[in-house]
Structures are given as C-alpha cells and as structure tokens.
Structure 1
Amino acid sequence: MRRIRLLVLNAALGVLDYRVPDGMAVEHGSVVVAPLGPRQVTGIVWEEERLPGESVPEAKLRPILSVLPVRPLHAQLRRLIEWTADYYCASMSSVARMVLASGGALKGGVTVTEYRLTGTQPDRMTPQRKQALEKLVDRQGTIRELAAIAGVSDGVLRGLVSQGVLEPEEVDADRPYPRAQPDHAEPVLSPQQAEVADELVRAVEAEDFAPILLDGVTGSGKTETYFEPVAAAIRAGRQVLVLLPEIALTENFLRRFEDRFGVVPVLWHSSLKSSERRRAWRAIARAPEEGGAQVVVGARSALFLPYANLGLIVVDEAHEISFKQDDGVRYNARDVAVMRGHFERIPVVLASATPALESLHMAETGTYRKLDLPSRFGGATLPTIRLLDLTEEPPERGRWLAPTLAHELFARMERGEQTLLFLNRRGYAPLTLCRNCGYRFQCKQCSAWLVEHRFSHRLACHHCGHEEPTPEACPECGEKDSLVPCGPGVERVADEVREIAPEARIAVATSDTLNTPARAAEFVAMAESGAIDVIVGTQLVTKGFHFPDLTLVGVVDADLGLEGGDLRAAERVYQQIAQVAGRAGRASKPGEVLIQTRHPEAPVIAALAEGDRDAFYAAELEARRHANAPPFGRWAAIIVSSEDEKEARLAAARIGDARPRLDDIMILGPAPAPLAQLRGRYRYRLLINAKRTAALQDAIRDWLGPLELPRGVRVGIDIDPYSFV
C-alpha cells in the first residue's frame, strides 16, 4: 500500500490520510507512528472504505514515520472496534485506545534486571535478612517482587545486593509464562456436571460461534464444569479469556485454577504494574505455540486485547452490573463478549446462578443455548429461607439486628459455625448530622451525603472520592459531641455484633477493606481456616466465595435496593440476595437464610422466600413487556453536564427542544439527574425508550450531531444504561 487511512488514537483528530515511504511495508491493522504538525501520533492502519471522510489529494500526504514492532490487529478485532463504537455511540478512537492499553508493549523487546541468591552470607545477620534468605531460596524476580515474597522492604534487599548476597541477571521482559497443563488434576465431576462439560467441550471443538448460558444454582460447581472446555481449548492450542466482575474474586479463582492446571493464568486488571501489563499484552498477542498466553483472567477491559488465537470466552457471574462501564466508552462487557465471539467464530459461555433477564430471554427465544446445573455438588442442599418482618419483630432501639437473627448468630458461634451478615452499604453510617443545629455533612463536589468511616476516621463521598477527617465539633454551630450517625453501614453492624457478642471474631468485607488481591486472599484464608466467626459484608461477598463452615446468612435490610429510581431494582435485589443466600450451607452442614424486611408482601421478597425464581422472572418479564423495557424494548440515556448550572440547564433544554418526533422512539426529559451534581458538574438527563426494531443509534446521532453547544458542556450517551443516577 502506498497511501493509507489512519485511525488516530485521538477522538478529536478522527481519521487522517498518510503516504507510505518507499521500502516500508504496512498492512491493515499495522500500528504506526505518523507526524502531525510538530508532534508524533500513534494510529492503526484501516481499510479506507470502512472509515468516513473524503480522501486527501496525493500531493498533500505526509509520510508515516515508522511501523511499531507489534503484530497487526487482525480483522476480527477491527470489526469489534467498529461494532462497539457504532452500538455505544462512541468514537472508534476511544475504543481503539482500549486495545492498545499498554504503551510500553508497543516499543518492542526489552530486558529487565532480576535477582537471585548467590549462597553468600551477609556481613551482619538481622531478623529481616534472615527472613529474606529463608523465603527466597530458588526464587528469582525484581527487587519489588522479591520484597513482596519475603515480606521485607526493598531497602533490605538492596543491602543484600550491595554485599553480593543477591546477584543481578538480565532477563527478557517478554519471557513466556509457565505453561498450563490441561491434564494436571482432572476433577471428578457429578453426572450432571459431566454432561454439561461434554456439551461445552464439543462447542470448543466445533470452532464456531456458540453463545451458551450456563445456568447453575449456587454451589453447583459451574467453575469446575467450565474448566473442562478451558482444558479442551488449551489442548487445541487456542487461547481462553475468563472475565471476572471483581478484582477481589481474583485470588480465590487463581487458587482454583492453579489446583486444576498447575499454574496461575495470565492476569489483566487495573492494579497491574506497567511492566506486568506490558508483559501480559505482548504474551496475549502471541499464539500459544509461540510461547504466548494460554489463559487470560481479567476484568472487562481484557475483552479488547489483541488475542492471537482466541478459542473460548467465559463470562463468570455474567449477571453482574460491574461488567457495565459507566464512563468513557459505556459498554457492557457481557454483550461485547458475545459480539467478540461472533466475530472470532468461537463459543461464549455466560455463567451465572441468577442470569440477567435479557440473557434468559435470549435463551428462551433460541438465540442462546441454555445448559442447566439444577442441584448443588456433592450432596449439599440449598439453604432454607425465612423472612423476618421488622414491623412485627423490630430490633431493639438503636440496633439493626432483629432478636431472631441475633439468637441464630449466637447458636452458630456455639457450634463453631460461621455467619454472614449482608448489607450493601459501606462505611459506618450513610449520613452524619448535628443534633444541635441540624447540619448535614454533604460533599462539596456532589449532591450526596458524606459517608462516615470510623475504621479510618474519615467522611467520604462514594461518588467522587472526596475525603475529609471526621471533625470533633459541628462546623456550622461549633457544638462538640453533637454529631450523630444516621442509619447503618457495615461498620455499624459490625460494632453491634461486638456489643452483643464480644468474643466474636469479626471481618468486614467491602471494597474498602479488600481493595487488593492480597487482602482478599488473606480474608479467604482466615475464613477457610475458621479464624472468623462473623463476616459483615457488602455485595462483594455475594459471589465466588466458598466457605464450608458458613451456615447462616442474615440479610440486614432486604428493602434497601428497592429504593430510588433504578428501573432494574427488583431484578438487582433478587440477584444480590439470591447470591448471598447461596453462600450458606455449601458443604455438608445445612444452611439457613434470614431476610429482614418491612415489605414481606413485595413480589421480589416473596419470591426469595418461596425460592421460586422462575415465577419471579416470569412476572418481571411480563411487567417489562407492558413497559416496553428490555429485553422487549430499548433504553438509552443522554447525560448533559457543565460546571455552570445554568449552562447545563439551558443546554439540556436545547437538546430537548431538538428531539426527533418518531413513532417508535419516546424521549422523556430533560430533568435534573437524581445525582444532580457529580464531581463539580451539574447534570441533567434525558431517558429514551425505543422499540426493539427502532434505529436507535442512528436517531441519536442524527439528533445530537448538528447541535452546537458551549465548550463547557459535555454530552454523554449511555446505550442500555444500568445506572440511573
């Protein structure tokens, strides 16, 4: 090719035309560096006919500067970029940036310095040095990696380097990862599991697109079952991607993976160091027979990596809303995973005990194939469920646990069993006010209350991250000892457990306390060893964990998720409580679930009590059919924001006045968003309800494209929204 069209990784620049210098070879998908004025920009060579814009005359073309030393992005990945940008009304440049997510990976091969013991003893032995020498036998790695293994500071190891106790060695930064062994420890599956696993293996061997919904009750062994098609893909020399919704689940999953395949998989998530991301990215871009990555376990962004030979995608806990990205490109990883499977012609497994209504509907209509695991593994039974009507059995004044729940908690402790108390509210209290003047602590950047965190002695906004120390006196009236917490968070429930059971060993499990894989691993180890009596946690503990001695689950406030304007509230509450209930009785000991509620008659609460998932889903589907809501209709949101409230309001009104008048699309708003201010920006929302057959994205682009708005105004488009704040 002598002239090329370049997708530049800058949405403001769009598409640019360049010339290829003599002697330089490029192809579609090549990643290149090109001049732009005095700067240099990175771009991807694209098919000219697939990108908009008029061609630049030959005489005006500037030559590209170089081709980066990475393999060209293959056509299937380029089609995924195009589809994602089109469906979610995003720029192709923004999607492409997620593909080229590691700048270091684009620079070619490099070496890193690692260290290992020489056998020499240090001049002076200290407890830290002794610990390092004991734990680093037969170990090699960077100073930071070895320090983490040894549990000492970097300075301790650097002192050992200076004395010749550790010696350096230059190694290839792209060295291959250890190879997974598909026959390392083949499990003994139940007849149900074996039947489903065989079906999944056949889907992998067919090497064709096959969206599969793996619907298994909690504790049915879905992970062990889908490990078998993973093994089949490894044997065939294909790559596997497993998506997990939470980083806190990673360590637990990695241990199970290592037990099955002998090594840990390649990881991809936001907490990786830049060197780790670089190594993973380049391994993923190589086929397994070339020493490339075999199995990748990652967060939603792992979907856009340049796999060399992808053969299977598994989306674990596929119902989870954390698969939906709420800023930037607002994509849903569950749906994009299915589309990547479509372009790659490979099977995609959506695994869940509480599938999304949309996924169930796709299975009912035959678009997805549905495989069931209806019973728990190893003879374990599903827990019994009881409702505690708080209008008839209220907690004692100033407390949040009903007497029956507190009594059952004591009974479990006496038997050496564990209890999980679930409340999806972080911190100590959602609101702090002054009893003297009524002052309420509110975020200065958001229209939200500051949440008190007593463990860290701070007030925090869970929307923008603002934090401030908890004051001793009211900032409004100056009165001391007048600040009162209102409502419970998990820390307050944990304090109540300490009051009624001082001897209880308590762990608080939230995204604040388990914010790294190492902390999550420590929590799991303590729970499995019996070092914890009571776990108090948020939605983080509703999935993925298996504690054999956990026999009681208490849902502190089942009605909490039904409040507010969430259009999927009932489904979300059902999923959360059903998932947390599934933590009880997963081994030989029977489990029990106590659900505290003030509305036992609510359909979702009644369905949970009766264990009738199918009846709840059928009723919810019928309600959505009447409302033309997903999966029967389509939703989209337009979010207008500005740092100036008047500017945001006028811009939203202007957008509303320009709305199209279409028979198959209804547009509501604009109205102030429920969270009217976020990170210092005032927000207005419009909600779109469209028929399934409507050309929704085209209508939005035709509507918003011609509008010229002030520079301070941002307009966000959210297709298939999950957040309504």
Structure 2
Amino acid sequence: MTMTLSRVRLLVMNAALGPLDYRVPEGMTLEHGSVVVAPLGPRQVMGIVWEEEHLPTDPVPEAKLRPLLGMVDVPPIRAELRRLIEWTADYYIAPLASVARMVIASGGALRGPATMTEYRLSGGMPERMTPQRERAIAALEGEQATIRELSGLAGVSEGVLRGLVNQGVLEPVEVDVDRAYPRARHDHDRPELSEDQASVSARLVEAVGRQKFAPFLLDGVTGSGKTETYFEAVAEALKLGRQVLVLLPEIALTEAFLGRFEARFGAAPIVWHSSLKSTERRRAWRAIASGEAQVVVGARSALFLPYARLGLIVVDEAHEISFKQEDGVRYNARDVAVMRAHFEQVPVVLASATPALESLHMADSGTYEKLVLPSRFGGAQLPAIKLINLTEEQPGRGAWIAAPLRAALEERLERGEQSLLFLNRRGYAPLTLCRNCGFRFQCPNCSAWLVEHRLSKRLACHHCGHETAPPEKCPDCGEPDCLVACGPGVERIADEVAEILPDARVALVTSDTLNSPEKAAEFVAMAEAKAIDVIVGTQLVTKGFHFPELTLVGVIDADLGLEGGDLRAAERTYQQVAQVAGRAGRGAKPGEVLIQTRHPDAPVIAALEAGDRDAFYDAETEARRHAGAPPFGRWAAIIVSSEDDAEAREAANRIGNTRPHLDDVMILGPAPAPLALLRNRYRYRLLMNARRTANLQQVIRDWLRQIDHPPGVRVGVDVDPYSFV
C-alpha cells in the first residue's frame, strides 16, 4: 500500500543502532517494507521502512530530520515477512537488524548492475609461466566467475589473475544477471504412488489448495518415498502459481535432490546456499522477490528470502541439528519455518524418518497433523539389525572392525554388492600424541585436540579451522618421527578396509571430501554406477542417499554420541544410527545392519536392535518430563566470552550475581563452557531451565539489560540450545 508520507521510521541494517526517523524527499513515494538508502553521518546505510507502532522510539522534531537519499529498486518487504523478522528477534533475543540483514543479505547485489563481467579460461597460455599462474590455470578449468571469486577458487591473488587477463589467458564474458529461469511443469512426469503415498499426498494437495496455515509431520520410515509424496503438494502449488520453499540440511544432499526434482518437474529448482556467487545470489533474490521463481531449494538461510507468493514450505530431514544456527542469530530453521508458514497462512511439512521428540510431542498434542508412511516403497523391506558386542568380539590390536563385520564386508564384495561403514569422526584420528613423552597436540585457539588428516597431511581443529603441518619432531621433547594416532577417524577406517579388502574400491564421504555440489554429484554418480564397493563416511552419509545395491551398513562405534553428556545425546544417537541403517536394502535385495557397541543394554542401543522406535521415544519422553527438559520445559544458555580469561570470568560472575530468583526458573552457573577456549576467546556459560509457565525471553531481557560490560566482552543468548559445548 503506497503512502504519501513526509517522514518515515527506518529499521537500519546496523544492530548497534535503534530505529531512526528520516524525511521523505519531494516526489518519493514509499510504503512499509520499502528498501531505502539513508545518510548516517558521512556514510550511507540501507534500511527498511517500518510501521511506527511496531518500532517505537523517541520522536525526533521535524526540523532535525535528514532526507532519504534514494530507494532501492526491489519490491517492498511484505508485512508477513516483517512480522517473522519481529517474531524471530523476540523469540531468540536477537537485534531486529541482525534478523533483517538475513532478508537483504545480498545488500551489494540488490543495487548492482543488471549485467556484469565474468572471466573464464580462453585456452591460451601466458608468455611466461610461473608456479602461481600454473596453479591458477589448473584450478580454473571449467570455472566462470568474477576476478574476486576466481581468486578464492584458485588460491592466488587478484593481481595474478589480472596478469592472465592482460595476457589473454582469461577472457571476459558479459553476463545478464537477471535472466529468467527455466520453468518447472507440475504435470511433467507424474509417478505411480503406492496406496499409502497417494492417501498422504491427497491430504497435502488439499491443504495447498486451501491456502491456510496447516502444520504437518510427515513421519515415514526410511525408503518410504517421502520426497515423491510431498512432490505432489509441490505440483499443486505450481499449478496454482504459488512459490515453494524446500529446506535441506546439507548442501551435499542438494545434488541428489535436484536430479529427482528435475526428473519429476522437467526443470531444476533455484538453489540457495552460502556458496553462491554474487551474480547467482542477485539473480535468485530478485526472481524470488518478483514472484518469478517457482521452487527454491536451500539451506536454512533460504527461509528469510522475500517470497512474493509463497504457497508451501517443506523442511526435509526436519530432525537434523544442522537446521540450528550456532552463531549470529541462533535460530532453529525447523521452528522458524513453522512460524513463517503461520504468518504467510500456508501449509508446512516437516518430513523425517526419525522426527525430533519436540515435533512428535506437537503431533501427539494435536498441534501438528501427523501423516504416516509405514512401509518402504515397492515392497522393499527394512533391514535386519544385529548388535556386535565389542566386549566379547574385540577387534585385533590397532584394528576397529570386529570379525563379524569384517566377514560381512568380504561376503558383500564377493556378491558384487555395496557396503557402508559409518563413524561420526572426520580425519584419521581424534587425538595425536608424542609416543615418547605423551605430549598432546592441542589447538592454540581452542581447548580442543588437533585431529590428524593424513589425506591432506595436516593437523586440524574442527572448531576454529586452524591447520598446521605435522611437525618432524615433538615440540615438547624434540623426539623425531614421534606422532602416534589415538582412536579411529574415518580415514583410519578406510585404511583398515583397504587392508582387509585390497581389491575393494573405497570412497571416503565427509564434509572434507564432499565440500562442493560437484563433488557430491560425482560421488552419487559413481555409487549408482557401482564404481564403489565400500563407502566410509560420517553423518553426511546418514541421510538422503538412495543406492539400491547397498545391502550392508556397519556402525563402527554406536556409543560415540552417548559420551557428550548433553540433553539430546540419546535422541541424536538414535536418529543417526536409524538413518544410516535406512541406507541398507533400499532396492530388491534385503539389507543387514551390524552395530558395534560396548553397551548393548543401553536403552538407545536396545531400541535400535529391536526396531522399536516407539519404545525408545516413550522412555526418552519420560526422562525429559522428569528433568523438565524440552518439550516439557525450556532451556536457554547465556555464553560470556572475551580474549582475556579474567575479563570473561568477571563478566560471567557479574551476570551470575544479579540473577533473578524465580519459582519457575532454575539458573545454573556460571562455569567454564565445556569448550572453554574457542577461536581465541575464553568462554563461560550459565544454563537456564524454565517451566512452561515462565516468560523466559522477558526474564533474560530484564536480567541482562541492567548490566554493562567492557568493550571486549561478548554476551550471547542461545534459546533452545542444541549444542552444549
């Protein structure tokens, strides 16, 4: 709704500033949600025109108002999305501006030109070859991007690349940034659905047609065809000219999904994730805001894009913890997706074979409608699950694969079938010692051990990214050639497989090896072509992949997830092992799952062996009820950090000393966080456990508002925490 206003209130994209009022210049017509450029001192800032009643502040006299500088040529941010920004900021105790910046994350691209110059290899060679030029030419084969982006891809300076442009080795290409996307067709290739799938999809199609808020929990066993089922709801939204958002937890899953989507709808969806080039971000953002984009598939940040005509939201693998953002605005995309659907008045589908306990509770209480796919598609059977008790079946010295699993791997190789081994530890070994003096290699920035990666010949910290070459001698005692690996990582398991099965073709699947959509696509193609015999991987292999010839899954250490001592440890272990088990026997051949454990009687492990999901969830629900844990109570963490340990400790104690004393809120701490040093910052933590009767966010806001901290101290709040490190 356009307005004739002489003054406007802006939410500016700077979390340190509150709302600011500006004068509207003559001839500029604005509406709530308009994106504008305003002066701030000598600088320019971007802002969104907001309703004054939603953004109160002390009014500024008319005479003191500065005029706006201009409007950004994009559609206004709609009211529904403005309400979601407010809700997210309120619930997760985050600055409004920090949430709004996720909406207009492509700030530069919004104002950028409609065409831009990218560069690609011309096939020519430079007059003089240098090592850097040689490296750049090798790295940029098949790539096209801006000089800045190519510099990042090749790992060389922009100056090196500009030299290659001058030599004609890189040629310019003019790109139309806003070109249209291919159109998906709702009736391109309709599948044959089973009776269960048809029944569930009919309910979803009906909900899309009604265009009202309707939250669904699509609870289907692994291999039951959840994707094909909700694709019918996507087809209905396309038919009605509405937009669809599908959230996936990992970029690595996107390639397999894109293939299935294109086969069904005749064109690929728009992909949104953090690795997009600036030209792709601008093109996608504008197509989404104008309504031209039909289906967007993306990571959690796609949730905050400015859809013009949203008709359906799907959260696939909705139990996944990677939907929880762990820095900046600490939101859970699964829960925010439900709220976005609420504000937009559209259906939302949470799809999972192992739903989060909170989602099941919402379904049991009638808040979500539960739709069940109880059996695998096409008559495929769920795999048989057996335990290997490692206290009885001990692998040999320096080995990690017990005899029954070793025999099963040999049998599958003889039959020409595929196997998958799961261990949720990247690298070669989780701990590296000096065999002479026992010195442990620790990250200089974090209270974490360095993990040996033999493939890349590095010692790496998985928390801050610090890497170093393994030293030739111990830094403590000076002993040469002293490194000894303690415990297994996936690289070590892959080495052991190569020893047991020297003829097997082994693929290592982790976030280190599948770090781009292209590499993920290459892995999927090789697995489907049966060019891989044994897959060894981390949690990346537990979801989404469908390989009909994969008949054996081995879980190397099912107890690993139970050692963290966090609230959701048992649930997470159950989900990961059940999901990886679900990769077996998805085709005509039956599958088998062998789980190595030292604790066969643990409730999680016993439930996995019995295939009794309900028994596990019932026991876990009672434990949570007794502890006042989610979904029966609420948790929040307050994390205090500084580069100075004493400063962080004092700030945490100051917060602890002013804690509110309430009957329905228990406050623990402050205490050093389990990861007490992270990225060179010392960390202290307070944990809050509140009953449902407490207004937790208001308690935290009132508590923290009264305390000032030195400039070096950061205080973060994590509502509904998933990580307890």
TM alignment of 1:689-708, pairs within 5 A: 689-708=689-708
Shift of 1:170: 5.3
Contact 1:312–1:347 (8 Å) recurs in 2: yes
Provide the C-alpha distance between the structure 2 equivalents of 1:565 and 1:48, rounded to a whole number of angstroms: 46
Decide whether the 8 Å contact of 2:637 with 2:721 is kept in 1. Answer: yes
- For 1:347-391, what per-residue CA distance to the aligned partner results, in whole angstroms no more than 9, with x for missing partners? 000000000000000000000000000000001000000000000
TM-score by length of 2: 0.93
1:611 aligns with 2:615: no
1:616 & 1:589 partners in 2: Cα distance? Answer: 28
Separation in 2, partners of 1:222, 1:238: 21
Q: Is residue 69 of structure 1 aligned with residue 69 of structure 2?
A: no
Correspondence for 1:304: 304
- Tell me the equivalent position of 1:382: 382
- Code of the residue aligned with 1:323 in structure 2: it is F
C-alpha distance in 2, partners of 1:391/1:265? 50
Provide, for residues 171-204 of structure 1, a one-character-per-residue CA deviation record: whole Å limited to 9, x for no partner: 6321110000111111111111111111100010
* Structure 1: distance between partners of 2:172 and 2:508: 42
Paired residues of 1:114 and 1:140 also in contact (CA < 8 A) = no
Indicate whether 1:12 and 2:12 are aligned.
Answer: no
Residue pair 1:70, 1:108 contacting (<8 A) in 2 also: no
The equivalent residue for 2:32 is 28
Contact preservation (8 Å) 2:10, 2:49: yes
State the alpha-carbon separation in 2 of the partners of residues 143 and 24 from structure 1.
Answer: 34
1:198 and 2:202 are equivalent in the alignment: yes
Give 2:308's aligned amino acid: A
Q: Name the CA distance, whole Å, in 2 between partners of 1:479 and 1:162.
A: 52
Partner of 1:665: 665
- Letter of the 1:224 counterpart: E
Read off the aligned partner of 2:422 and give its amino acid letter.
F
Alignment of 1:290-689 (within 5 A): 292-689=292-689
Say if 1:105 and 1:282, in contact at 8 Å, map to a contact too. no
Equivalent residue number for residue 47 of structure 1: 51
Does the residue aligned with 2:491 lie in a helix, a strand or coil? Answer: helix
| Distance (whole Å) between structure 1 residues aligned to residue 669 and residue 71 of structure 2 | 48
- Which residue is 2:192 aligned to? 188
Q: Which moved more, 1:657-666 or 1:319-328?
A: 657-666
Q: 1: CA distance between counterparts of 2:25 and 2:445?
A: 51
Distance 1:207 1:444, change over 3 A: same
TM-score (norm 1): 0.93
Shift of 1:167: 11
CA contact (8 A) 1:109 1:172 kept: no
* Structure 2 residue 59 is the aligned partner of structure 1 residue 58: no
Tell me how far 1:478 sits from its aligned partner.
Answer: 1.3
Alpha-carbon spacing, 1:559–1:481, altered in 2? closer, same or farther (3 Å)? same
Contact 2:428 2:452 in 1 (8 A): yes
Report the Cα distance in structure 1 between the residues aligned to 2:390 and 2:671, rounded to whole angstroms: 35
Q: Residue deviations 1:608-652, cap 9 Å, x none?
A: 000000010011001111111000100000000111111111111
For the 8 Å contact 2:124–2:168, the answer to whether it is kept is no
Asked if 2 retains the 8 angstrom alpha-carbon contact of 1:201 and 1:229, the reply is yes
How many angstroms apart in 2 are the aligned matches of 1:672 and 1:607? 35
**Amino acid of the residue matched to residue 234 of structure 2?**
V
Partner amino acid, structure 2, of 1:10: N
Give the aligned residue type for 2:353.
A
Structure 1 residue aligned with 2:138: none
Distance 1:143 1:96, change over 3 A: closer
Displacement, 1:422? 0.3
- Distance in 2 separating the partners of 1:243 and 1:483: 43
Structure 2 residue matching 1:716: 3-state secondary structure: strand
CA distance in 2, matches of 1:11, 1:545: 40
For residues 414 and 212 of structure 2, what CA distance do their matches in structure 1 show?
A: 54
Q: Distance in 2 between matches of 1:241 and 1:62?
A: 39
1:456-506 deviation per Cα after TM superposition (whole angstroms, max 9, x unaligned): 000000000000001222111111122110000000001111111111110
Residues 171 and 326 of structure 1: CA distance in aligned 2, closer, same or farther (over 3 Å): closer
1:257 maps to 261
Contact 2:145 2:277 in 1 (8 A): no
The corresponding residue for 2:241 is 237
Look up the match of 2:271.
267
The structural deviation recorded for 1:89 is 0.1
Q: Percent identity?
A: 75
Aligned structure 1 segments of 4 or more residues deviating by more than 3 angstroms = 112-116, 139-144, 166-172
Write the distance in 1 (CA, Å) between the matches of 2:635 and 2:492. 37
Cα displacement (A) at 1:104: 3.4
**SS of residue matched to 2:290:** coil
Matched position secondary structure for 2:197: helix
* Letter paired with 2:310: L
In structure 2, do the counterparts of structure 1 residues 140 and 382 end up closer, same or farther at CA, with 3 Å as the change threshold?
closer
Contact persistence 1:553–1:592 (CA under 8 A): yes
Does the aligned pair in 1 maintain the 2:218–2:349 contact within 8 Å?
A: yes
Instruction: Name the CA distance, whole Å, in 1 between partners of 2:541 and 2:100.
Output: 34
Aligned counterparts of 2:635 and 2:393: Cα–Cα separation in 1: 40
The one-character-per-residue Cα deviations of 1:281-313 (angstroms, maximum 9, x if unpaired) are 0000012xxxx1000000000000000100000
Match of 1:213 in 2: 217
Query: Per-residue deviation at 1:52?
Result: 2.9
Contact 2:109 / 2:278 at 8 angstroms: preserved in 1? no
The C-alpha deviation readout for 1:54-96, integer Å capped at 9, x for no partner, is: 1111111111110111111010000000000000000000000
Mapped partners of 1:297, 1:538: distance in 2:
23
Contact map agreement 2:177 2:280 (CA 8 A) in 1: no
Q: 1:447 offset after TM fit, Å?
A: 0.2
After TM superposition, give the deviation of residue 162 of structure 1 in Å.
7.3
SS of 1:285's equivalent? helix
Matching of residue 110 in structure 1 with residue 114 in structure 2: yes
**Other structure's SS at 1:188 match:** coil
Q: What's the CA shift string for 1:551-578, capped at 9, x where partnerless? A: 0000000000000231100000000000
Structure 1 residue identity aligned to 2:530: G
Tell me, yes or no, if the aligned pair for 1:642 and 1:714 is still in contact at 8 Å.
Answer: yes
Q: Following the alignment from structure 2 to structure 1, what is the Cα–Cα distance between the partners of residues 577 and 671?
A: 32
Aligned to 2:155: none
Residue 113 of structure 1: CA displacement? 5.5
Q: Distance in 1 between matches of 2:606 and 2:297?
A: 37
Distance change (3 Å), C-alpha of 1:142 and 1:684: closer
- Going from structure 1 to structure 2, the CA distance change for 1:402 and 1:170 (only over 3 Å counts) comes to closer
Match of 2:226 among 222, 225, 246: 222
| 2:136 aligned residue | none
- How many residues matched? 696
The residue aligned with 2:135 is: none
State whether residues 635 and 690 of structure 1, in contact with CA within 8 Å, keep that contact through their aligned partners in structure 2: yes
Contact 1:109–1:174 (CA under 8 A) maintained in structure 2: no
Amino acid of the residue matched to residue 485 of structure 1?
A
- Could you tell me which amino acid in structure 2 is paired with residue 225 of structure 1? T
- Tell me, what secondary structure is at the counterpart of 2:401? coil
Tell me the amino acid that sits aligned with residue 189 of structure 1: L
User: What CA RMSD, in Å, does the superposition of the two structures yield over aligned residues?
Assistant: 2.5
Distance across 1 between alignment mates of 2:565 and 2:654: 25
What is the CA–CA distance in structure 2 between the aligned matches of 1:142 and 1:607, rounded to whole Å? 51
Distance change (3 Å), C-alpha of 1:94 and 1:481: same
> CA separation in 2, counterparts of 1:670 and 1:663?
19
Gapped runs of 5+ residues in structure 2? 126-140, 151-159
Shift of 1:397: 1.1
Aligned residue type for 2:259 = R
| Aligned mates of 1:703, 1:505 — CA distance in 2 | 58
Query: Cα 1:574–1:169, aligned 2, differ >3 Å: closer, same or farther?
Result: closer
**CA apart distance, 1:143:** 9.4
